[in-house]
Amino acid sequence: MNEIKKDKFGPEYVIEIYDPKIGMEGFLVIDNTALGLGKGGIRMTPTVTKEEVFRLARVMTWKNSLAGIPFGGAKAGIIWRGGSDELKREFIRSFARSIKPFVPKKYIPGPDINTTEKEMMLIAEEVGNWKGATGKPADYCHKNQRTGKKMCGLPHELGSTGFGVAHATAAAVEAGGFDIKKMTAAIDGFGNVGEFAFKHLQEMGAKIVAVSGSRGGVYYKNGLDLKKLLKLKSQGKPITEYSHGEKIAHSDIFELPVDILIPASVTDVINEKNKDKIKAKIIVEGANIPMKENIENELFQKGIIIVPDFVANAGGVISSYAEYEGCDPKQMFKMVEKKLRCCAKAIMEKSLEGKINPRETAMKIAIERIERKIK
């Protein structure tokens, strides 16, 4: 088991929670609040640990700093081995009561693995504060007594993360001196992030020629039809049943002759087995940790432009800030576009100019912002 290493950035709070009545056990790590309230989602998995939550909280510290929003880094986890919907609600409510002294004074929860807009509404209700969580349902609203403004939830289903991935991609394309309307793209993963990245990149003029899921994928060099893919998804059918093109194994998508590759599924999909077969000019990390840092650096040294995960997928947390401030969906998307474009463009240009790995460039910017605030 990895230890939580304390340094000048944190963690400020490491909280272990246990409810003996129902057996709920969880963790909250508030890593750093130099820039603002700690922000990060709550995940519910059978194997989540205090150390895992800390590592994720630290990533949120850097991500929020880079995104240019006044949030610090935090994360929470609940050990969830499965059960009825009622038991899950009890776990959420119990956890919310336990962290109430910190919410929203020090920490604001959001959705993550196995938590959705429903759980966020329960948390806000339990702590008695509409601002006690973000990612709430769109019809869960609150009237600001001071301003009279109506504020509503901005759920993950709006697609802010995938929207942000698309704009981070566009910024990388521009920094590399390419024309997005002449670019082809392959997307690994057709969940919320992959679906909306597909939608918005296609609207920008890119041609999406391949998509893959856990059961395989499809490659069609003339470009895929999003509506047909969404119909298959709604029917619970695999992508491989797409009517045109070539059926491919999940692993094949990383070897296709495309300009842009977007890993938007799970960890370590780019690895020692396939790293040398990648033909893409640009890799945009829609998922968290789609490859180890040494592989990322190796690919960058080969001339591949890489947008790191904590830059590319920051659209979700920017949306959280927009919700916290009472923005409507239109205002939220405008904020995500502006901040992601600005952030990704600055990082990619500095990286390419100095021939420095974008992750290293991004980390330097994030750390400098927090250090200035600490001083």
CA distance 253 to 263: 10
CA distance 373 to 360: 20
Give residue 174's identity as a one-letter amino acid code. Answer: E
Tokens read off for 8: 């000048």
The string over 86-118, giving b where at least 16 C-beta atoms fall within 10 Å of a residue's C-beta and e elsewhere, is eebebbbbbbbebbbebbbebbbbbbbebbebb
Q: Is 75 a catalytic residue?
A: yes
CA distance 323 to 193: 19
Asked if 55 and 27 count as a contact pair (C-beta separation under 8 A), the reply is no
Tokens read off for 175: 């920094």
CA distance 58 to 370: 12
Bridge partner residues of 191 (DSSP):
none
CA distance 61 to 45: 22
Q: Which helix (H) or strand (E) holds 210?
A: strand 207-213
Contacts with 221 (C-beta within 8 Å, 6 or more apart), sequence order: 184, 209, 245
Asked if 28 and 99 count as a contact pair (C-beta separation under 8 A), the reply is yes
Out of 75, 88, 136, 339, the active site residue is 75
DSSP 371: H
Active-site amino acid positions: 75
